[in-house]
Amino acid sequence: MPPRSTPTARQERLGAELRKIRESAGVTARAAAALLGTNPIQQSAYEAGRSGISEDRIRRLATHCACDDAAYVDALVRMANERGKGWWEEYRGVVAPQGLDIAECEHHATRIRTFQVAHVPGLLQTEDHMQAMFSYMSSDVPKRDLEAFVAFRAQRQQVLAGSSGTPYEAVIHEAALRIRVGGRDTARTQLKQILERSELDNVTVRVLPFDTEDFAGSGYSMLYLHGPVPQLDTVQTDTGHDPEFFDAESRLRQYRKRYERVMLAALPPAESRDVISRIAHEL
Same domain for 69 and 104?
Answer: no
Structural element, H or E, at residue 197? helix 184-198
Express each pLDDT in 19-68 by its tens digit.
999 999 999 999 999 999 999 999 999 999 999 999 999 999 999 999 99
Express each pLDDT in 150-207 by its tens digit.
999 999 999 999 889 999 999 999 999 999 999 999 999 999 999 999 999 999 999 9
Nearest Cα to Cα of residue 191 among 135, 125, 134, 123? 125
Q: What is the pLDDT of residue 271?
A: 98
In a domain? residue 120: yes
The span from the first CA to the last CA of the chain, in angstroms, equals 57
Same domain for 175 and 264?
Answer: yes
Q: What is the pLDDT of residue 4?
A: 67
Express each pLDDT in 65-123 by its tens digit.
999 999 999 999 999 998 768 999 999 999 999 999 999 999 999 999 999 999 999 99
Express each pLDDT in 233-276 by its tens digit.
999 998 766 788 999 999 999 999 999 999 999 999 999 999 99
Same domain for 70 and 164?
Answer: no
Question: Where does a domain end: 80, 109, 143?
Answer: 80
Q: Which domain holds residue 213?
A: 90-282
d(CA 91, CA 148): 8
d(CA 270, CA 256): 24
Instruction: Look at residue 2 and tell me whether its pLDDT is greater than 60.
Output: no
d(CA 118, CA 175): 6
In a domain? residue 1: no
In a domain? residue 269: yes
Give the total number of structural domains in the chain.
2
d(CA 61, CA 32): 7
The reported pTM is 0.92
Q: What is the pLDDT of residue 109?
A: 97
Q: What is the pLDDT of residue 6?
A: 81
Q: What is the pLDDT of residue 33?
A: 96
Residue 156 and residue 103 in contact, taking contact as beta carbons nearer than 8 Å? yes
List the CATH number of the domain containing 229: 3.30.870
Q: What is the pLDDT of residue 212?
A: 86
Same domain for 142 and 101?
Answer: yes
In a domain? residue 4: no
Structural element, H or E, at residue 270? helix 269-282
Instruction: Look at residue 1 and tell me whether its pLDDT is greater than 60.
Output: no
Residue 149: pLDDT band with limits 50, 70, 90: very high
In a domain? residue 275: yes
